[in-house]
Structure 1
Amino acid sequence: MSEHDSDNDLFEVREPEIQRIPFVFNSPHSGRRYSRAFLEQSRLDALSIRRSEDHYVDELFGCVTDLGAPLLMAHFPRAFLDVNREPYELDPRMFDGQLPPYANIGSIRVAGGLGTVPRLVAENMDIYKGRLPVEQALDRVETIYKPYHACLRKLIARTHVEFGLSVLVDCHSMPGNIRVAGSGQRPDFIIGDRYGTSLSPDLSQAAVSLLEELGFSVARNKPYAGGFITEHYGRPARGLHALQIEINRSLYVDETTLEKKPQFSLFATTLRSFLSAFSLYVEKYADSTALAAE
């Protein structure tokens, strides 16, 4: 038997009545359903274990179905399983038993305690009271990670077939104290495009410019260039674009209590304005690209 709750509670796709724009939105880190079994394994209290969440990002981007795009959202928490990693970035020190030989045990993320099954939440707090059976890690990969990515691939492929291109937007939040090295900038948003490899430069610059026009401070790729999802699914030469959006969570949430700020709804409305403008830009980009190919 799996250690997690019913598979139906793991993640969901919210679909528009009709998909009208060539976008897929993904919120892999906003899950906040903590199973009793997981909490019993943890040394952290119910608030501390939530420090790795992208708080309410699924709600902030909930408007995308009205705009005509699907939203894939995790319900399992990032502290339990991080689908923005390779499937087997696993730390052997965490487990009783032998990891498979294909596990990536030497990645920087594993060394930092932030592998596929994380050892730490933010602020370097250990999650677990002791070692886990290795079978638990492998079960999470088989029963959650792989179905999640299969679902994401299907959404991207469907969009690409229907529109001739697809734009995956990987939706995240970041701590309010993040600074851009060398400048001291405290950005409201960071647009990550894997240094130009996962997204057309035109689309990347458009995202930055549109956010700046709304009065936000925006950085690009620093300190977050995009994780496994952005890197893995972004193939702009094939019309498969992927960008990561990091939102400074101090704009909309109290980072101590994790409660929404009074301006949450206003911020969500402003974000919707950006997403609407960006989708219009992408439609024009798609039309111009199609004409150039004729």
Structure 2
Amino acid sequence: MDCSAGGIKHFEVREPPTQTIPFVFNSPHSGRSYPTAFLADSNLDSIAIRRSADHYVDEIFADAPEIGAPMLMAHFPRAYLDVNREPYELDPRMFDGPLPSYANIGSMRVAGGLGTIPRIVAENMEIYRRRLPVNEALSRIETIYKPYHACLRRLIARTHARFGLCVLIDCHSMPGNIRISGSDMRPDFIIGDRYGTSASAELSRAALHMFDRMGFSAVRNKPYAGGFITEHYGRPVRGLHALQIEINRALYVDEVTLAKKPEFPVIAAALSTFMRQMADFVADFSGSNTALAAE
């Protein structure tokens, strides 16, 4: 599927020779192509600007096409544009001139500096040294955000039409210091299903069980239940399921240097096993029960 945006490869789809499983994998925050003008406008150095990225998540899930599913991945960085937001979650304090009347300026994500055009990375590290022209924000949305989501919608619709259901796996990473509220537990994985509204409970429980059997700690929805993509595309009653997977970065990357750890191949192999097991589960479950196709 050609998902280029105006001839510029802001993102790409890696396709299997033939799609054999009803899955779509999406890595919206692992892009590593930083525009020169963006870096010139930033207060941050080459390491700091990457603090909010989902480091190498596209590589961790790279076996998706091999097991029969397409994978959409961003090349643009999250600090430049966040497609896991509404299209116009914008902070008026960041821009010269008025925003369009339809902009959502009051969301919690905007207040936290993490709108469609982020103001910060990591823990309140301000990205920009100046206010941006409003047209700059709108251009990023028109030329990258909208084509990205158009491509994702096509992948989901094609998969649903072919198999009668679609499971979207939204692939992310989280800081190693994330703890579960009220405990000292630092989970290896968090499965987000928007508290049961974006995917069937059977899928979420299966994912948790698979990680547990591999010796990892995994929890559901807390503190990450899923972002805009999970919420927007998950419609279980129509056979459209969306799960967000958060991987603890400390498992595979040095969070100071952002270099891969020696354990990286082990984590990538574990995720390859996870993808295969999820595909087998959906095949078995949907073959004996129509609940996944239309709950």
* Alignment TM-score, normalising by the size of structure 1: 0.96
Distance in 2, Cα, partners of 1:118 & 1:290: 41
Q: Name the aligned partner's letter for residue 59 of structure 2.
A: E
Match status 1:50 vs 2:50: yes
Distance in 1, Cα, partners of 2:288 & 2:89: 40
Partner of 1:240: 240
What's the C-alpha RMSD, in Å, of the aligned pairs? 1.4
Q: Name the aligned partner's letter for residue 118 of structure 1.
A: P
Q: Name the aligned partner's letter for residue 285 of structure 1.
A: F
Q: Name the aligned partner's letter for residue 44 of structure 1.
A: L
Give yes or no for contact 1:175–1:250 (8 Å, CA) kept in 2.
Answer: yes
Partner of 2:167: 167
Q: Name the aligned partner's letter for residue 76 of structure 1.
A: F
**Structure 2 unaligned blocks of 5 or more:** none
Give 1 or 2: higher helix fraction. 1
Q: How does 1:85-96 map to 2 (within 5 A)?
A: 85-96=85-96
Q: Name the aligned partner's letter for residue 207 of structure 1.
A: A
Give yes or no for contact 1:165–1:286 (8 Å, CA) kept in 2.
Answer: no
Q: How does 1:1-294 map to 2 (within 5 A)?
A: 7-290=7-290
Distance in 1, Cα, partners of 2:221 & 2:32: 27
Give yes or no for contact 1:171–1:245 (8 Å, CA) kept in 2.
Answer: yes
**Deviations 1:17-56 (Å, cap 9, x if unpaired)?**
0101000000000001001110001010111000011000
Distance in 1, Cα, partners of 2:252 & 2:133: 38
- 1:204 is displaced (CA, Å) by 0.6
- 1:77 is displaced (CA, Å) by 0.2
**Deviations 1:156-190 (Å, cap 9, x if unpaired)?**
00000000000000000000000010122110000
Q: How many residues align?
A: 289
**Structure 1 unaligned blocks of 5 or more:** none
Q: Which runs of 4+ in 1 moved over 6 A?
A: none
Q: Name the aligned partner's letter for residue 51 of structure 1.
A: R
Distance 1:237 1:47, change over 3 A: same
Distance in 1, Cα, partners of 2:292 & 2:148: 35
* Alignment TM-score, normalising by the size of structure 2: 0.96
1:123 match: secondary structure: coil
Deviates more, 1:259-268 or 1:153-162: 259-268
Give yes or no for contact 1:84–1:227 (8 Å, CA) kept in 2.
Answer: yes
- 1:289 is displaced (CA, Å) by 2.9
Distance 1:35 1:292, change over 3 A: closer
Distance 1:44 1:113, change over 3 A: same
Q: Name the aligned partner's letter for residue 282 of structure 2.
A: V
